[in-house]
Amino acid sequence: MRKTVATLLLLVFCLAAGAQSVVEKMSLEEKARCVVGFKRALWPPTNNGIPGRTTPLPACGIPSLVLADGTAGVRLSRRGQERATAFPADITLASSWSTEVVREVGAAVGDEALAFGVDVMLAPGMNIIRNPLCGRIFEYFSEDPVITGKMGAAYIEGLQSRGIGGCAKHFTCNSQETNRGHNDVRIAEKALREIYLRGFEICVREAKPWTVMSSYNSVNGAPVQEQRHLLTDILRGEWGFDGAVMTDWSIVPHNTAAQLHAGNDLFMPGADHQVEAIISGVKDGTIAESDLDLACERIIALAEKCADKKPAAGPDLEAGRAVAHNAACESAVLLENNGMLPLSGGGRAALFGVRSYDLVARGAGAGFVVCPPVTQIYAAFRDKGIPTDEEIEDLYLKYVAFAEADIRLNEKIKVHIGLPLLPELALSKKLVESAAERDDYAVITLGRTSQEGTDRKLKDDYYLSDTEKALLGDVCEAFHARGKKVAVILNIAGIVETESWKSLPDAILNVWLPGQDGGAAVADLLFGKVNPSGRLAVTFPKDYFNVPGAEDFPYGDLSEGRNYDYTCYDEGCNVGYRHYLSSGVQPSYPFGYGLSYTEFKYSGAKVRTSSKKTVVSVTVTNSGAAAGKEAVGVYVASPDGIPELKAFAKTGLLAPGSSETLTFEIPADYLKTFNEGKNCWEKRRGRLNVLIGADPSDPKIKLTK
């Protein structure tokens, strides 16, 4: 609910004298309630599917702040009539390699948050994608900390430009969902600093988020929420964070005094026992009242920031749809293309796969968005005037209607906030062959969803199911036998195995979770209205057991012990592409990989260094026949070290023959390495190798500085 003018005026009046003076006048109980979330039973009626509010203290001029879920948009209650835009998921946005695109999405989410009376969005997710089976992988950006940090910063800058607080989460090492409340991450300090904290550091330094969320899990034997070293010494002391730290929504009991002293300012979702623990703790001396006062000051400062925004009449869902559509197009990654794409628009298409008729627009859990109707691939073909096989379409639409009713009425599949993935439909070879006789080409859409609270499995998830393998094999065999081509659309929440089947189709386009206008975006990409320009921000391994630390993850059913009670990050810094470059193991698709409908050349590369920064520039020229955009990465390595991404950008739309010079500024601190023995950051020794190009295994230019 929107705050009344009187409440806002009271807030402004009370804060005019400063947060410290307000706290000095508060009673101990008021202070305790200020830092503990508002009890759900006392919430006023609202249609928002909000997970929490702060406690209002009218006498102190402090309103209740609304905290909303949604890394892909504002999550509303499915029981109401309101709808919000479902934007592409974080893992999708990262593939754009464009902070401008992500900043635009953040601003659009902020606009809708304003309309729904939200103060803080609990987004973005910024944990490192350590393993492809992480259930929340779609809510995170990348296996690389620089992509993670820069994308997170851009998203938060967009949100906060609209007066909506951003929340960088989950700080830190929440890279698995199995036993997430108790799991202890055992990790070396170097890997913690250079991989798992670096993205948060970049985000904090560059975007200055108003809030950060401390994670459920433990690190090296102690709960993150009780570690002052992490939440105060590093986050505030080293990085200069001046916002509020809130806990993740409590699912396990904690030591309230230790949490407060560690640097948590807001206990969510809030309970009376926490209020009582704070009051008694201050009285018996186990809690320093100065810690409580400081937390109150930060909550008041947050309330002041949230009050400084313009009211909105209502969400502009058409504007949101346009932003979501553009982001989906910018983020699609063309993995294979044997001359099939772009399609000419002639001939009739056979659209196979349930996802062609029931697109997975967003994942489940906190990242699920109740949105207007999702545009479907089959409908997008029709809207473009492209004829499709009506018999195939009729079969799938009837199946989707039946399967949805069957699941709903028989409660066959339980999903934590969201929609279940309808099982793939098995087709007879005869049906496929008859379609191959009458149709000119085929498109198969394969899909995956995922959710918080549980991790993915290998069987029928990371690996294709038997039904999917049969569909893929039968369609390719039947159409190729008649000289006709087949494209595969990957509509996936996370990485899937591709090595065993990627040679079968003529083209593979990965659109991840593309948001509510995904079907229209797919059609624009297939028919060349948009030239794919996305690059992978995660590595696709040839097999799961090629993943670094594959055995150090709960890939099976567990209830105790290794990978449940504790997980060892023994791969250290060799996460993702760092592992593949150092080991020589070849992935199916490397980090930074992505094809285009045109070609690009690089020239005029320069590197300039100073004590404060390294500046790299390069000119990119479209040497092909179609307009397109090129994503560029800058990797830096010591003479005997692994190339590490330090900067990235994407050109504007370049017409054939046109050029653009990109300039990258890398702060000197981002080139340092962490010395565990001395417990400090150090400058790299010797001359540095600079690699320019999105794929570090195949750079366009190599320089030494």
Q: Which residues pair with residue 600 across a beta bridge? A: 622
Q: What angle do CA 268, 274, 275 make, to 5 degrees?
A: 105
Q: What's the mean per-residue pLDDT of the chain?
A: 94
Spell out the CATH class of 597-704: mainly beta
> Which pLDDT score, from 0 to 100, does residue 40 have?
75
Give the per-residue pLDDT at 1.
39
Q: Report the percentage of the chain scoring pLDDT > 70.
A: 96
More confident residue, 545 or 252: 545
Over residues 558-585, the mean pLDDT reads 97
Residues of the chain with CATH 3.40.50.1700: 332-530
Q: What is the CATH number of domain 332-530?
A: 3.40.50.1700
The reported pLDDT for the residue numbered 41 is 65
Partnered with residue 122 across adjacent β-strands are 69
Shortest CA distance to 543 belongs to which of 505, 500, 607, 577? 500
Q: Are strands 659-667 and 613-622 parallel, antiparallel or unpaired?
A: antiparallel
Q: What per-residue confidence (pLDDT) applies to 17?
A: 53
pLDDT score, position 676: 94
At residue 347, φ and ψ (nearest 5 deg) are: 85, 175
Does 16 or 336 have the greater pLDDT score? Answer: 336
What are the pLDDT digits (tens) for 491-535? 999 999 999 999 999 999 999 999 999 999 999 999 999 999 999
Residue ranges of the chain that CATH labels 3.20.20.300: 5-307
The pLDDT assigned to 492 comes to 98
Position 13 pLDDT exceeds 60: no
Question: Which residues are bridge partners to 54 per DSSP?
Answer: 37
Residue 14: pLDDT band (50, 70, 90) is low
Per cent of the chain over pLDDT 90 is 87
Question: What's the CATH superfamily of 5-307?
Answer: Glycoside hydrolase, family 3, N-terminal domain (3.20.20.300)
Residue with tokens 């397109």: 628
Least confident residue range of 72-86, 537-551, 632-646: 72-86
pLDDT at site 684: 87
Q: What is the pLDDT of residues 42-87, one digit of tens each?
A: 766 555 678 999 999 999 999 999 999 988 999 988 777 889 999 9
Sequence-ordered alpha helix ranges (H) in 16-165: 19-24, 28-34, 90-94, 99-115, 145-160
Beta bridge partners of 689: 637, 704
One of 69, 90, 184, 248 is an active-site residue; which one?
248
Stretch(es) of the chain classified as CATH 2.60.40.10: 597-704
Q: What angle do CA 344, 345, 348 make, to 5 degrees?
A: 120
248 is catalytic: yes
Amino acid identity of residue 213, one-letter, is M
Name the residue with tokens 């473009």.
384
Average pLDDT over residues 584-606: 98
pLDDT given for residue 7 in this prediction: 47
The pLDDT assigned to 411 comes to 74
**Tokens 């944990």 correspond to what residue?**
127
User: What's the rounded mean pLDDT across residues 682-703?
Assistant: 93
Single-letter residue type at 348: R
| Residue 304: per-residue pLDDT | 94
| CA atoms of 580 and 176, how far apart (whole Å) | 21
Q: pLDDT tens digits for 376-391?
A: 999 999 999 999 999 9
Bond preceding residue 170 cis, omega within 30 of 0: yes
State the pLDDT confidence band at 232, using cuts at 50, 70 and 90: very high
Q: Cα(140)–Cα(127) distance, rounded to whole angstroms?
A: 6
Strand spans (E) along 217-373: 218-219, 222-223, 244-247, 333-337, 349-352
Residue-level pLDDT at 685: 83
The 3-state secondary structure of 460-512, one letter per residue: HHHCCCHHHHHHHHHHHHHHHCCCCEEEEEEECCCCCCCCCCCCCCCEEEECC
Average pLDDT over residues 565-571: 98
Q: Would you place residue 6 in the very low, low, confident or very high pLDDT band (cuts 50, 70, 90)?
A: very low
- What's the chain's Rg over C-alpha atoms? 25
